[in-house]
Amino acid sequence: MSVKKSALRVAAATVASGLLTVGAVALAGSASAATVGHHATSYQFQTIDNPRDLTFNQLLGINDEGVIAGYFGSGAQGAPNQGYVIPPFNRGYFSNENFPGSVQTQVTGLNNRGVTVGFWSSMNNANLVNDNFGFVDVNGHFRNADFPTGDPASPPVDQLLGVNDNDIAVGFYTDGQGNNHGYEYNINTGRYSTVTDQGAPGASLTAAAINDRGDVAGFVTNGGVTDGFIKFGNRTFISLSVPGASATSALGVNNYDEVVGTYTVGSGSSAVMHGFTWTPQHGFRTVDDPHGVGTTTINGVNDFGQLVGFYVDANGNTDGFLAAPQH
């Protein structure tokens, strides 16, 4: 997800125009956890930046083999987003992955079957207003995947943000009025279906991640308020909102329904962002990279509880990180 520097980036920083915001939790209806604690699990953090641009990296997804998806480049004119994947056996090796003929690419998600998803742009404008198109890469074979809408934004904005091992991808498109609409895309059949919040059908919704059971995580903006959510298959929709936060966004989910994302405390120049994990059993826990307390976003989680994301360091650079749980 992505946006302007002051705003939260969905899966990453949108190459396009399009501001993305974030999301909230409680089992049964809507929810809010009683407390936000420090995670009982401790993490070992590792900063991972592509040497081609040490000033801007975002790590967005990690599969169970430890392969990481991400990109470098802020998206400012002359510093286009460029996608990559990182193998688990060499964290210093960055394999370029860019949609053929694109000016900018973000690799936002991947599964355990060799499929990656993301979005690309044909533009790199100074005003950061660029077109966005979703893509799927199956073992090196790229294809576009954009929700068929009769009311697209101008320029169009469509992003795929996550994919599961059943080859179901999720993402969103932006309509002509500036609202986001979440959807699922079946890579094998080419069929699209919408992801909605029945309690707020007119809200702006971003589907950011999906696990193998079909549980979808993302965030909804309604009346200026952004809350995260997890939707269990086609059934229960749970709103996730960190207590005391001004905004919550869910950005990743694994097969144990561990949800990760970011929440904001305060607003304007005083706003700070923290990473979080949430589980149905334990609720919310704050997890910040020690070099980026107050500037941390967690974007992906695998079934071993490894986390990836990014933070802003003391020099103002955006750095990718990997956090491995220590048991």
pLDDT for the residue numbered 227: 97
Model confidence at 7: pLDDT above 80:
no
Tokens 């990109």: give the residue: 71
Residues 309-324: tens digit of each pLDDT: 999 999 999 999 999 9
pLDDT for the residue numbered 74: 98
Report the distance separating Cα 67 and Cα 322, nearest Å. Answer: 11
State the pairing for strand pair 192-195/180-186.
Answer: antiparallel
Taking residues 279-291, what's their average pLDDT? Answer: 97
Give the E-state strand segments of 139-271 in sequence order. Answer: 141-144, 158-163, 168-174, 180-186, 192-195, 204-210, 216-222, 225-231, 237-240, 247-253, 259-265
pLDDT for the residue numbered 17: 34
State the pairing for strand pair 192-195/204-210.
Answer: unpaired
Which of 113-122, 139-148, 154-163, 228-237 bottoms out in mean pLDDT, i.e. has the lowest? Answer: 228-237
Q: What is the DSSP letter of 32?
A: -
pLDDT for the residue numbered 153: 98
pLDDT for the residue numbered 40: 59
CB 14 within 8 A of CB 159: yes
Model confidence at 21: pLDDT above 90:
no
Model confidence at 13: pLDDT above 70:
no
Q: What is the DSSP letter of 195?
A: E
Q: What percent of the chain has pLDDT over 90?
A: 84
Taking residues 136-141, what's their average pLDDT? Answer: 96
Report the distance separating Cα 16 and Cα 4, nearest Å. Answer: 10
Start-to-end CA distance of the chain, whole Å, equals 31
Q: What average pLDDT is seen over the chain?
A: 89
pLDDT for the residue numbered 32: 38
Model confidence at 24: pLDDT above 90:
no
CB burial of 170-205 (b: ≥16 within 10 Å; e: otherwise) equals bbbbbeeeebbbbbbbebeeeebeebbbeebeebbb
Residue 202: pLDDT band with limits 50, 70, 90: confident
Residues 290-302: tens digit of each pLDDT: 999 999 999 999 9
Which domains, ranges and CATH numbers included, belong to the chain? 36-326 (2.120.10.30)
| Nearest alpha-carbon partner for 285 in 314, 311, 313, 263 | 263
Taking residues 94-122, what's their average pLDDT? Answer: 98
pLDDT for the residue numbered 327: 74
pLDDT for the residue numbered 41: 78
Q: What is the DSSP letter of 24?
A: -
Query: Phi, psi at residue 152, to the nearest 5°?
Result: -80, 160
The dihedral built from the CA positions of residue 322, 229, 285 and 262, taken in this order, carries a sign that is: positive
pLDDT for the residue numbered 166: 98
Helix (H) or strand (E) holding 133: strand 133-138
| Nearest alpha-carbon partner for 206 in 214, 190, 194, 215 | 194
pLDDT for the residue numbered 200: 84
Taking residues 128-132, what's their average pLDDT? Answer: 97
The dihedral built from the CA positions of residue 308, 312, 317 and 323, taken in this order, carries a sign that is: negative
pLDDT for the residue numbered 189: 97
Enter the pTM of the model.
0.90
In the structure encoding, which two tokens stand for residue 216, read together?
């979808």
Taking residues 131-136, what's their average pLDDT? Answer: 98
Q: What is the DSSP letter of 56?
A: B
Residues 221-257: tens digit of each pLDDT: 999 999 999 999 878 999 999 999 999 999 999 999 9
Report the distance separating Cα 149 and Cα 27, nearest Å. Answer: 33
Residues written for the chain: 327
Residue 29: pLDDT band with limits 50, 70, 90: very low
Residues 272-281: tens digit of each pLDDT: 999 999 999 9
Residue 199: pLDDT band with limits 50, 70, 90: confident
Per DSSP, the residues of 207-243 read: EEEE-TT--EEEEEEETTEEEEEEE-TTS-EEEE--T
